[in-house]
Amino acid sequence: MIRRAVLVVLGLVWLGPTYLLLVNASRPAGSYDPTRAWAPSADFSLFENFARALESADLTQSLASTALYAIVSPLLGVIIGALAGYTIVVLRLRHGFFWFILIFGGTVFPSQMLLVPLFVGYSDAGLYDSRLGMILVYTAINVPLAAFVLRNFYSGVAFSIFEAARMDGASTWRVFWRIYLPISLSALTAVFILEFTFIWNDLIFGLTLTQTADVRPVMTAIAGLMTDVYAGTPVPVGLAAGLVVSLPTVVLFLATQRLFARGLSLGSV
């Protein structure tokens, strides 16, 4: 009984900021009062605030660009990571552990250390403020995690499966594409969800490598909108923009939570 009461209290505390976000994003744009932030408003204006936020910050273009990055880059990342894991474990690449450490070692360095070299390199290569450049950097960031999870997963698959397929005349590429990739679908999905969430919520690379509204990620646009709150943008409009931007990741996780948990458990040992 005490445990349940403690869990209920902690859950209410955890949901407090979400409640404040929903209540104040639903107020009319000009009626925000910090002293009554906990009290719901009689006028429900959430959808009007959504529409105003989409117009004021060009969020539509940023949402489209972010959806492109968050789908294409994780897909490329999990496929490349699966190929790396397959090559190291199944094909038994010479010095495979060294190559794995080389791939995964990139995650040791903080992202902030990469910003200046990326900015200079992207400017020299003509990739600055381009969708192709953002897809490339997000893909490179996603590969190490995918390689780590898929390497662990393929280590638990019997090597006799590969031998039997090869004896039947299948090429190494066909074995990967028709056998190893399908059986690792749960692990691939879990990694995809994690990487989708990371890209959707990314701010630092968007601020550094983009400038125009049709290229920059949505979190960069939201940051600009929240800065404008102090210069005239109503607080409910800014909160509504943050709410609409957070919905895709919440919906994705709720829709795939069982597959997500199963995939992580399969790829963790």
Q: Could you tell me the maximum CA-CA distance found in the chain, to the nearest angstrom?
A: 74
At residue 161's C-alpha, the angle toward residues 155 and 162, to 5°, is 80
Nearest-CA neighbor of 122 among 140, 147, 109?
140
Contacts of 267 (CB under 8 A, 6+ apart): 149, 150, 152, 153, 184, 187, 190, 191
| pLDDT score recorded for residue 269 | 46
The per-residue pLDDT for range 22-71, each reduced to its tens digit, is: 888 888 877 777 777 777 777 888 888 888 777 765 677 888 899 999 99
Predicted pLDDT at 236? 80
Which tokens belong to 208?
């550094």
**Residue 231 confidence (pLDDT):** 55
What is the structure's pLDDT at 36? 78
Comparing CA positions, the residue from 135, 98, 256, 264 lying closest to residue 187 is 264
In this prediction, residue 134 carries a pLDDT of 95
**Amino acid 82: pLDDT:** 92
pLDDT of residue 111: 82
pLDDT of residue 260: 63
| Predicted pLDDT at 63 | 87
pLDDT of residue 268: 47
Assign a CATH topology to domain 52-266: MetI-like fold (1.10.3720)
User: Which residue in 211, 228, 231 sits closest to 220, CA to CA?
Assistant: 211
Where along the chain do its domains lie? 2-45, 52-266
CB-based contacts of 260, cutoff 8 Å, min separation 6 = 189, 190, 193, 253
Q: Which residue stretches of the chain have pLDDT < 70?
A: 56-58, 226-232, 259-269
Report the C-alpha gap between 170 and 165 in whole angstroms: 6
Would you state the pLDDT for residue 93? 84
